[in-house]
Amino acid sequence: MSSGYSCVIIEDEPLAQNVLKKYIEDHPALELAGIFPDAIEAQSLLSQKNIQLVFLDINLPMLSGLNFLKTLINPPLIIVTTAYPEFAIEGFELGVIDYLLKPFSFERFLKAVNKASEKLNMLRNVTEQSSPFIFIKADKKVYKVDLEKILYIEATGDYLKIYTVETNYLIHSTLKNFLEDLPSSSFLQVHKSFIIAKSKIVFIEGNYIRVADRDIPIGASYREEVLRKLKSKN
């Protein structure tokens, strides 16, 4: 089984299709299986092929995106793309993975796809053991990063530096944002500027945690929480 996800776009405006098409082309793990101007036309493909991810507009001709979603018996993962913020709650009630408000950036798109891949990984892990990973955008490329290779993450201004066993990545994001993409069982924020991988801790001494060859400070307001979480794991 390939690690790529087969996806489709359901969107009636050509220019909006174009944005999604470009984003999908830039993402190494996404394979575009089709673009449809309305939901009815997409239906047959969805039933024939194994589609894992759908980018779905809400305001569609003939059948609205949300109503289309209600008709699906075994729906693939859905990422809604729309200019209508008022349907977000209904969307999430219908189990959509993420809700993108047009126009949206590639970074926001990536975050949505990461959420989807996390979910798909979980589904896959039931049958086969593959190491979980996320996608990040650094210097105009999208990298696949295995979660188990991440050592720690440091925030500097508007950027995050992700230290892995092999290399470092500089990405445009915030710690709070990035933490949401990581499984909370393996990662821990220990300082307002640091997230560490629990499995990579060498030792803890006073107010420092040694990860790889770096002493990472424990923030005063994080200390209690960090110690509690580390203890409960053991």
Partner 1 sequence: MTKQFFWLDNLWIRVLQHLFFWGLSFYIFLQFFKTGAKAERIDYLYTALFQFSLLPTVYLNLKWLLPGFANKRNWLAYTFFILILISLFSWLNFQFFERWSVKILPDYFFISYFTWRQVAGFFIVYVAISSLLKLSKSWFRVNELQRQLLQSEKQKIQNELKALKAQVNPHFFFNTLNSIYSMALDKDDRLPGTVLQLSDLMRYFLYESKEDFVALDKELRVLNDYIALQKIRSDEKLLMEEKMEGEVKNERIAPLLLITFLENAFKHGNRTGSKMAFIKLFIRVQQGQLDFQVENDKGIIDKVETKENSGVGLENVKRQLELLYPGRHQLIIHNLADRFVVHLQLKL
Q: Catalog residues that contact partner 1 under the rule CB under 8 A.
A: 12-16, 18-19, 22, 37-38, 40-41, 58-64, 67, 83-84, 86-87, 101-103
* Distance, CA of 74 to CA of 64 (rounded, Å): 18
The torsion angles phi and psi of 53, rounded to 5 degrees, stand at -140, 135
Give min distance, CB of 152 to partner 1, in A.
34
Asked if 150 and 163 count as a contact pair (C-beta separation under 8 A), the reply is yes
> Toward partner 1, which CB reaches closer, 60 or 218?
60
Shortest separation between residue 151's beta carbon and partner 1, angstroms: 35
Q: Which residues contact 143 (CB under 8 A, 6 or more apart)?
A: 135, 136, 137, 169
Q: Which amino acid is at 114?
A: N
Q: Label the pairing between strands 150-156 and 214-217.
A: unpaired
Retrieve residue 109's tokens.
């798109």
CB-nearer residue toward partner 1: 80 or 151: 80
Residue closer to partner 1 by CB (options 102, 233) is 102
Residue 213 beta carbon to partner 1: minimum distance, rounded to whole angstroms:
41
Min dist CB 96 to partner 1, Å, is 15
Please state, in angstroms and rounded to a whole number, the distance separating the CA atoms of residues 25 and 189.
33
Assess whether the previous peptide bond of 132 is cis (omega < 30° from 0). no
In the block, which residue shows the tokens 């859905």?
A: 78
User: What is the closest distance, in whole angstroms, from the C-beta atom of residue 82 to partner 1 in the complex?
Assistant: 8
For partner 1, the closer CB: 21 or 149: 21
Return the number of the residue (101 or 165) whose C-beta is nearest partner 1.
101
